[in-house]
A = this chain, B = another copy of it.
Amino acid sequence: MRKEKDKIKIIPLGGFNEIGKNLTVIEYKNDIVIVDCGLKFPDDDMLGIDVVIPDVTYLLKNKDRVKGIFLTHGHEDHIGALPYILKQINVPVYGTKLTLGIVQIKLKEHGILSTVDLKYIKPKDIVKLDNVSVEFIRTSHSIADSVAIAVHTPAGVVLHTGDFKIDYTPIDGCVADLARFAELGKKGVAVMLADSTNVERPGYTMSESTVGESFENIFFSAKGRIIVATFASNIHRIQQIIQAASKYGRKVAVSGRSMENIMAVAIELGYIKIDKETLINVDAISKYNDNQVAIITTGSQGEPMSALSRMAASEHKKVNIQEGDTVIISATPIPGNEKLVSKVINQLFKKGADVIYEALADVHVSGHACQEELKLMHTLVKPKFFIPAHGEYRHLKQHGELAVKLGMPERNVYLGENGDVIELSRDSIRKVSSVTSGQVFVDGLGVGDVGNIVLRDRKHLSQDGILTVVVTIEKDTCTVIAGPDIISRGFVYVRESEDLMDGARELVKQVLKECEENKIKEWPTIKGNIREVLRGYLYEKTKRRPMILPIIMEV
């Protein structure tokens, strides 16, 4: 039997039972390999939070063993936590050219670019560490230059697919390296972790090229300007917009900070090809006829501050939507964004634009494998054990069932949770312990200083507002010498609620009088009494429960 420390351990610290903040730890002996380091966007109940990153307490405790962070691709949910985590654990970051190009933008924004050791790798490269070696295998996804990662250990191979789809006609001609997956499968893969996002969808994800065909049709018939909103990182989509524009004699302008940043990197690195004459500054669009202009922009998720939302609301400095414009929203709303997107569509239609979106034409395809593609990957890799990754529980569960349907014994599938320490032996996969895991909230400059108490208060405040009661009391005599004053925010429209407030003030006076008479000098008790009396009164009068904040000043 192998020694305990010679076993492979896999510890997901993010991306399990959730969409986002992907971070998986793969350990063998003294080597810790981190696959991806992503962020998650906050849920609706995380009020005021900017982004959510994984809790990496475990990595901090094992800093010395961490050999590097290995990136599968450049999406936020796989690289977005890097600036925060690298400030705590400065290790080399491995990625393909485009992935690291995007990482550079982020690190520069956080002012730590010069301190980070970026290691460029290419598909088929192998990085040798002390006890393991890490191999990169080309995949397809909705961003160029994506890879799967195979960690070779004496105890077997761990394959993490990253996000992937099977696209036989990708825009850059670089099909996923199916041969290498098959080769690994033939030699034997101990365990596979694989993308579960689209496991509920039967069939195949359409090729990115099909979107190009739709673009061609739209560009062929559009008479005015064409504005296309898509994800800034979807380099191939952008390339197809440029191709359609060139074909029909349109110049291409770009609007939106992230689109400008990422396009600049992609053009510089050769991932986007565009003639110098075709690319124009957005300031110059008025110099051309409407049918000579195409604008690529951000805002496909209806984000209120994005370029497209500003155009739709007539708040964009350079582009105002006009009758005859054709606007293509080349994306699907991420769950939770449906209403925002719909709002933008309505505004665009009202301004007279022709709006084309997924419900009306094939202007978007997913970047994730559907059931038949997943089956192909499982069949090629034939792993001994399987850990469904990247998904909510519903996805992980169904991906596990898919593996079982393909012939894997049920006991060889492990449905993990963040923080599980999953140990692999020759014959079994099992959880041996757990480590700290969870979500760290980033709010402004604060990383982790907003916790559940603060969020609970924000939630409370958001529903019924706050009512502050202030009173100044003479310490020795317990006499009120100023107040009580009552100030509310977010509770009622004060001018129309004077009676309600007068009533509240009277009740507080009574409470104070009773306390004075009974010589109650404990402020917490007095505050408690005020809170209790007001809570009942306000609920009876309004059926609302504002936060009640009594403040006693003593002189």
What is the interface of chain A, defined by CB distance below 8 A to chain B? Answer: 17, 43-44, 47-48, 200-201, 335-336, 338-339, 342, 345-346, 349-350, 355, 359-360, 392-394, 397, 443-446, 449-451, 453-455, 457-466, 468, 470-472, 481-483, 485, 487, 489-493, 496-497, 541-544, 547, 549, 551, 553-555
Cβ contact within 8 Å between B468 and A457: no
Q: Which of B345, B394, B445, B446 contacts A346 (CB 8 A)?
A: B394
Cβ contact within 8 Å between B490 and A454: yes
Cβ contact within 8 Å between A342 and B392: yes
Q: Which of B338, B465, B555 contacts A481 (CB 8 A)?
A: B555
**Chain B residues within an 8 Å CB radius of A551:** 468, 470, 485, 487, 551
For the complex, what is the distance from the CA of A359 to the CA of B466, rounded to whole Å? 42
Cβ contact within 8 Å between B336 and A482: no
Most buried by B among A43, A346, A360, A461: A461
6 contacts between A and B (CB under 8 A): A47-B463, A48-B544, A335-B338, A449-B492, A453-B493, A466-B466
Q: Which of B43, B463, B468, B482 contacts A458 (CB 8 A)?
A: B463
Cβ contact within 8 Å between B43 and A553: no
For the complex, what is the distance from the CA of A547 to the CA of B471, rounded to whole Å? 21
Cβ contact within 8 Å between A454 and B491: yes
- Which residue of chain B has its CB nearest to the CB of A541? B445
**Chain B residues within an 8 Å CB radius of A466:** 461, 466, 489
| A422 to B: closest C-beta gap in Å | 18
Cβ contact within 8 Å between B461 and A339: no
Q: Provided the pairs A346-B394, A555-B481 are in contact, do residues A462 and B200 lie with their beta carbons within 8 angstroms?
A: no
**Chain B residues within an 8 Å CB radius of A463:** 47-48, 458
Cβ contact within 8 Å between B349 and A393: yes
For the complex, what is the distance from the CA of A424 to the CA of B458, rounded to whole Å? 51
- Which residue of chain B has its CB nearest to the CB of A342? B392
